[in-house]
Amino acid sequence: MVTRKMDKRLWSLQGMTALVTGAASGIGYAIVEELAGFGAKIHICDISKTLLNQSLSEWENKGFQVSGSVCDVTSHPEREKLMQTVSSIFDGKLNILVNNVGVLRGKPTTEYVADDFTFHISTNLEAAYHFCQLSHPLLKASGYGSIVFLSSVAGVVSLIDCGSIYGLTKGALNQLARNLACEWAKDGIRANAVAPNVVKTAQSQSVK
């Protein structure tokens, strides 16, 4: 099979700004690598200070323009504080919001408890919804806003090992993307969801 690497001279994100949530490892880390490789200036958040500092150091060594904040995305005040930081760093404008952060506790439906439900909803869905609300004025001000939701195949078809609550949150993200794409088109903001299958990350490896 012949593979062809995209010529980065033909496509550039120079001058663009991005926020990627949960990006110190896994899929989020790879997203940052791609965006930064095309010249975007990026801010990330992660709940792990250790992973955050490690990743920021690696990107600095590569010459990427990436800054970061520790943030528990389940916390309403911390989400607001993060967006205030992003607004300050990027002068009130944001081109790209990547709602990447997500969690997974794979269990049979009958074994889930209230904490499991709250954990999934607050991290996978509520955080993404709130970040969209908070970022709307910044995305609109940029004149070219794009929201990307990290959904999953589990939001389209049943992946039993992932659990019903995880699938529920990812299906909701798909519909949220559709709604915002229509509602915010007038503001020059696009919204899309990508739905990968299982990707080899520390989180996916914990699902048996």
In the chain, the domains with their CATH numbers are 17-199 (3.40.50.720)
**And the tokens for 170?**
């990812």
| pLDDT tens sequence across 11-52 | 899 999 999 999 999 999 999 999 999 999 999 999 999 999
Q: What is the pTM of this model?
A: 0.89
Nearest to 52 by CA among 74, 21, 17: 21
Q: What is the C-alpha to C-alpha distance for residues 122 and 9, in angstroms, rounded to an integer?
A: 40
Give the alpha-carbon dihedral of 83, 85, 87, 88, to 10 degrees. Answer: 170
Nearest to 98 by CA among 56, 139, 39: 139
Given a cut of 90, whether residue 204 has pLDDT beyond it is no
Band of residue 200 on the pLDDT scale cut at 50, 70, 90 = low
Mean pLDDT, rounded, of the chain: 91
| pLDDT tens sequence across 131-149 | 999 999 999 999 999 999 9
| Beta strands 66-70 and 96-99, pairing class | unpaired
What mean pLDDT is predicted for residues 181-206? 80
What mean pLDDT is predicted for residues 189-205? 73
The pLDDT score that the predictor gives to residue 198 is 65
Angle at 41 between CA 40 and CA 47, to 5 degrees: 115
Residues with catalytic annotation? 166
What mean pLDDT is predicted for residues 88-107? 97
Ranges 86-90, 172-176, 199-203: which has the least confidence: 199-203
